[in-house]
Amino acid sequence: MKTALITGVTGQDGSYLAELLLANGYTVHGIISRSSSFNTERIDPFYRDPHDPEARLFLHYGDLADGTSLRRILENVRPDEIYNLGAQSHVMVSFQQPEYTADIVATGTLRLLESVRDYQAHTGRSVRIYQAGSSEMFGSTPPPQREISRFAPRSPYGVAKVAAFHYGVNYREAYDLFVACGILFNHESPRRGETFVTRKISRAVGRIRVGLQENLYLGNLGAKRDWGYAGDYVEAMWRMLQAEAPGDYVVATGVAYSVGEFCEEAFSAAGLNWRNHVRVDPRYLRPAEVQHLCGDATKARNELGWRPTVAFVDLVRMMVEHDTELAQQERTLQAAGHKVKPHTAVPA
């Protein structure tokens, strides 16, 4: 049975990928960051205490900013596959923390590649690496974007992902490492972080629906994204590492909608008219925007046999249903006298 190591295991994708790999019989090791509050909410449902003989998911403290921890974990875990999903992944935050974003997203990837290069050289074992690239790398290049489209990033996050992508390709060419770079378009789910626009919308719809909130404040309603379901996209990551040779693959649905259209669909799923509740607040506008992303995943379909299974409307409904349930729980607790509030202090 194979052993996998995941950076960013506590994130949206990390949690779906860990579940997929466990279901495929893998032993899974995840790197988690030290936090003053719990950050394992997404993996708690399937995590088992390590004393349980059935446990196959193990967690290690480490950080992409800390090369020593990466090397130590690699030596202990001896993985067959590494999925590098760890990142400061918020585009707007990358304008506020560009150096930190570059350090984790770009240099963090370099630290990991260097660790694997040395590890392979002294153990003779080979390791396959998945590098989490992003459609944000295409930036202002018009759609449809495919593997050969020009990278023209519009944010410090996008620039850092382009650097990480090129590090991956360079280590593949220079040291013959098996590095596959996924260029994934936006993918969402009920586990999506609440500061990304889709989840911000579905959370608000749930709360407005049950009477806990009146308005939702957003930035650019005209930006278009190619939104898929995260559960489908981690399957593509896994397939990339099962291929005979490493390559770069766009993963996308091929259909794009605007933020306004996402609002319309989400509010109407709850029997609401979005125009009565959505307001524009300029604080959510970005210094430079990526206006239109829509991917062409022909290569992934032909070479990996991958295709998306969840359509836009079903994705929106899945998120709205989930978040309506959360809002109902919040209302029940409030009615019973508990002081509960969502994390509204975090700017999104």
Q: Footprint of ligand G4F on this chain (CB under 6 A)?
A: 89, 91-92, 134-136, 185-186, 195-197, 200, 218-220, 223, 225, 259, 284, 286, 289, 293, 348
Q: Identify the helix (H) or strand (E) that includes residue 5.
A: strand 3-7
Residues 247-276 that bind ligand NAP (CB under 6 A): none
Active site residue 188: no
DSSP line for 260-308: HHHHHHHHHHTT--GGGTEEE-GGG--SS---B--B--HHIIIII----
Report the C-alpha gap between 191 and 23 in whole angstroms.
Answer: 19
Active-site residue, selected from the candidate residues 15, 89, 115, 134: 134
First-to-last alpha carbon distance for the chain, in angstroms, is 41
Q: Which residue number, 3 or 12, has a Cβ lying nearer to ligand G4F?
A: 12
Active-site residue, selected from the candidate residues 119, 157, 167, 249: 157
Active site residue 100: no
Judged by CB under 6 A, does residue 85 bind ligand NAP?
yes
Give the full edge-to-edge strand order of the sheet including 248-251. Answer: 57-61, 27-32, 3-7, 81-84, 128-134, 178-184, 248-251
User: Least CB distance from residue 144 to ligand G4F, whole Å?
Assistant: 14
Which residue's CB comes closest to ligand NAP? 11
Instruction: Work out whether strand 257-258 and strand 224-225 pair parallel, antiparallel, or are unpaired.
Output: antiparallel
Report the C-alpha gap between 299 and 276 in whole angstroms.
Answer: 42
Q: Identify the helix (H) or strand (E) that includes residue 250.
A: strand 248-251
Which of 137, 145, 119, 92 has the alpha carbon at shortest distance from 348?
92
The residue range among 141-149, 180-188, 215-223, 305-313 that interacts with ligand NAP, by the rule CB under 6 A, is: 180-188
Active site residue 136: yes
User: Least CB distance from residue 184 to ligand NAP, whole Å?
Assistant: 4
Q: Which residue number, 27 or 198, has a Cβ lying nearer to ligand NAP?
A: 198
CB atoms within 10 A of CB 244: 6
Site mask, ligand NAP, residues 97-116, x = CB under 6 A? -------x------------
Query: Cα 264–267–270 angle (5° rounding)?
Result: 145
Q: Which residue number, 28 or 93, has a Cβ lying nearer to ligand G4F?
A: 93
Instruction: Work out whether strand 178-184 and strand 128-134 pair parallel, antiparallel, or are unpaired.
Output: parallel
Residue 259 binds which one of ligand G4F, ligand NAP, none, with CB within 5 to 8 A depending on kind? Answer: ligand G4F
Site mask, ligand NAP, residues 2-31, x = CB under 6 A? -----xx-xxxxx----------------x
Report, as residue numbers or ranges, the catalytic residues.
134, 136, 157
Summarize as ranges the residues that interact with ligand NAP (CB under 6 A). 7-8, 10-14, 31, 33, 35, 39, 63-65, 85-89, 104, 132, 134, 184, 186-187, 193
